[in-house]
Amino acid sequence: SNFQAVAEACREGVIPARVVLLVTDEPGCTAVERARRLDIPVLALNPRDFPDKAAYERRILERLQAEGVDWIVLAGYMRLVGPTLLDVYKGKMINLHPSLLPAFPGKDAIGQAWRYGVKVTGVTVHFVDAGMDTGPIYLQEAVPVMPEDTRETLEERIHRVEHRLLVEAVRRLVTEGPPEIRWRDEG
């Protein structure tokens, strides 16, 4: 998993940081089991247990701040991030997406690319804004679609690139700091 790739890279010193918390809205996901094996605390919350999105995000924010979180890395988080978190972590939150954005944003990006018949797809790490996969792009890597590919083989290759690119993105952000970011709402 992408979570495990980043956590192990931190443990091995590839990324000079540590993963202090896994936040998930899916308590049964494999990342929870992996986090527990690595002794990383888990905050599993069901958004439906809160009166609104702001209350849900306030609970997350409280824990992030209590843990001293500097960077938020989203991988497989299928919700738009609201102002409660964005106002505090703007420019300090990245998302991993399995396409060469701006192509194929949103859910099932690999399936979208496969159905469209593209010859090249890829992986993007971008900064998070209020939109659906619309934040400033940080890193991208192309993944060619081979004539012999099935959707499954393409997906496997994309996941391998995701692990590598996400680790590289986090490593660079931690060691070099964020680049100058030009947000769409700032012109």
- CATH code: domain of residue 41: 3.40.50.170
Rounded distance between C-alpha atoms, residue 54 and residue 81, angstroms: 10
* Higher-confidence position of 77 and 98: 98
Q: Does 186 reside within a domain?
A: no
Q: Does 166 reside within a domain?
A: yes
Q: Does 184 reside within a domain?
A: no
Number of domains forming the structure of the chain: 1
97 in catalytic set: yes
Average pLDDT over residues 111-134: 98
Check residue 150 and give its pLDDT.
97
Among the options 97, 126, 159, 163, which is catalytic? 97
Q: Does 185 reside within a domain?
A: no
Show the domain range for 162.
2-176
Q: Does 183 reside within a domain?
A: no
Tell me the pTM: 0.94
Number of H helices, E strands in the chain: 6, 6
Q: Does 61 reside within a domain?
A: yes
Check residue 184 and give its pLDDT.
80
Q: Does 181 reside within a domain?
A: no
Distances in whole angstroms, Cα of residue 81 to Cα of each of 7, 53, 56, 112: 23, 9, 11, 23
Average pLDDT over residues 145-162: 98
Check residue 180 and give its pLDDT.
92
Q: Indicate if the pLDDT at residue 187 is higher than 60.
A: no
